[in-house]
Amino acid sequence: MRQAVTVLSDEEELFRETVRDFSDREVAPGAIERDRKGAIEPELIAKLFEIGVMSVEIPERFGGAGGSLFLACLAIEEVSRADASVGAMVDVQNTIVAGAISEWGTEAQQEEFLTKLASGSIGSYALSEAASGSDAFALETRAVADGDDFRLTGRKLWITNAAESEIFVIFASVDPSAGHRGITCFVVERDFAGFQVGKKEDKLGQRASSTCELILDGVPVPRKNVLGEIGQGYKVAIETLNEGRIGIGAQMLGLARGSFDAALAYTGEREQFGQKIGSFQAVQFELARMATDLEVARLLVYNTARLRDAKRPFLKEAAMTKLVVCDTAERVSSMAIELFGGVGITTEYPVEKRYRDAKPARVYEGTANMQLLTIARQIQRGT
């Protein structure tokens, strides 16, 4: 493992404190109600744009903050500490939608779409389909050349932010016989003819984060909206998802921190047998394990984000980050419920929500087994 660098600069610390204060004030109070309604309130989304967490890495010339992936991860972590559903929206917007357009877009595409993403438009990333999950490139969505356009036909599933999004990064095959070399990436806008956002999934966790199907019925997409080159979609997707896994690590780190903070506070208040339950050694040991797990998770997220910002190899570390931090979030949030006891399994307290919110992260953007496969291949190659 490459050396971890976790000390924050004064600028980074100030940014984190600003987002933390905002999240405590604006995000945390509505988390339980947001979960019940299954939606993020438009007023909160507007405030997320106002504070700048929806455009951390977008260059200043396009209206963004011009920050690093590391800063984006700090924002995702702090928002997710308050509500992982809101953290999912911030994560996808920054790491894979704006990230893909920043890395692969032409100057004209960046000016058009990054400006929109920085000024109030939400984005979605559409790769998954019914027949292509872990086998992400068994795509059935087709893109057929039609003069100056391509016409996209097919269905996408499990698309985060879809209910709110105006901009969609969509993958389709221009030549099925070419396998992954036929896959091409397109930027599609919500008002394009033949484009429709379908049903919203009723999920176990992260319920306020919209997850919908997309229906493409001969959608005309201008050639100028091809992101990267024709047939280069495979590379766009792989490299973007590698960075996205760091963002998921930050999301789950924030969730785990929120669970630990709640458990620590509760064990310092709850009394049994005439004393605070936090004074019992068994409880202290569990808190110690949780704190240690959190520190390991933090080191992984911060180090991998630093590696990416330094333009050093990070594929193995990104897979390790998603694998370990998702496991940590599930384990820490589960223990938080146990430390809360009977009230922990009620919806009156937020710990059961965090436990439900942890589970989806082990699945999206690559299952745990896919991360293990990536890690194994990298270590066998000596990378």
Per-residue pLDDT of the chain (383 residues), as tens digits, is 444 446 799 999 999 999 999 999 999 999 999 999 999 999 999 999 999 999 999 999 999 999 999 999 999 999 999 999 999 999 999 999 999 999 999 999 999 999 999 999 999 999 999 988 778 678 999 999 999 999 999 999 999 999 999 999 999 999 999 999 999 999 999 999 999 999 999 999 999 999 999 999 999 999 999 999 999 999 999 999 999 999 999 999 999 999 999 999 999 999 999 999 999 999 999 999 999 999 999 999 999 999 999 999 999 999 999 999 999 999 999 999 999 999 999 998 999 999 999 999 999 999 999 999 999 999 999 98
Fold equal for 10-122 and 124-232: no
- pLDDT at residue 2 in the model: 46
Fold of domain 234-380? Butyryl-CoA Dehydrogenase, subunit A; domain 3 (1.20.140)
d(CA 195, CA 28): 34
CB 124 within 8 A of CB 271: no
Q: What is the DSSP string of 188-257?
A: EETTSTTEEEEEEP--SS-TTS-EEEEEEEEEEEEGGGEESSTT-HHHHHHHHHHHHHHHHHHHHHHHHH
pLDDT of residue 4: 47
How many Å apart are CA 369 and CA 383, to the nearest integer?
19
Catalytic residue among 213, 243, 286, 365: 365
**pTM value > 0.75:** yes
* pLDDT score, position 82: 98
Domain locations in the chain as residue ranges: 10-122, 124-232, 234-380
Spatial CA neighbour of 359 closest among 142, 192, 133, 204: 204
Q: So what's the architecture of 10-122 in CATH?
A: Orthogonal Bundle (1.10)
Q: What percent of the chain has pLDDT over 70?
A: 98
As assigned by CATH, the class of the 124-232 domain is: mainly beta
Alpha-carbon Rg for the chain, nearest whole angstrom, is: 21
Q: Do the strands 183-189 and 275-276 form a parallel or antiparallel pair, or are they unpaired?
A: unpaired
Backbone angles phi, psi at 73, to 5 degrees: -65, -35
Catalytic-residue membership of 365: yes
